[in-house]
Chain A
Amino acid sequence: MKPWYARNAAKAALFALALGAAPLALPNEYYINILILGAINALIALGLNLLLGYAGQISLGHAAFFGLSAYATAYATARMGLPIPVGMGLGVSLSALVAWLIGMPTLRLRGHYLAMATLGFGIIVHIVMNETVEITGGPSGFVGIPRLALFGYAFDSDRAYYYLTAAVLALAALFSLNLIDSRLGRALRAIHTSERAAQTAGVDIAGYKLFVFVLSAAFAGVAGVLYAHFLSFVAPSSFGFHFSVQLVVIVVLGGMASVWGAMAGAFFLTALPEALRGFEEVDILIYGAILVACVMYMPMGMAGAASGAWRRIGRWRRGRAGQGEGGHAG
Chain B
Amino acid sequence: MPDHVRGQYQEDLATLERRALEGLDLVLVQLDKATEAVEQQDTELAELVIASDDVVDGRYLEVHQSILTLLATQAPVATDLRLISALLHLMKCIERMGDQCVNVAKLIPIAGHEPPADERILRDIGTMCRQVRTQIIQAKRAFESRDVEMARDLVRRDDVVDNLNKQIFRIALEVGDDADRREWAMTMILVARAIERIGDNTVDIGEQVAFIVTGLFREFQDASHPGEPVSSGQP
A and B assemble together: no
A interface with B by C-beta (< 8 Å): none
B interface with A by C-beta (< 8 Å): none
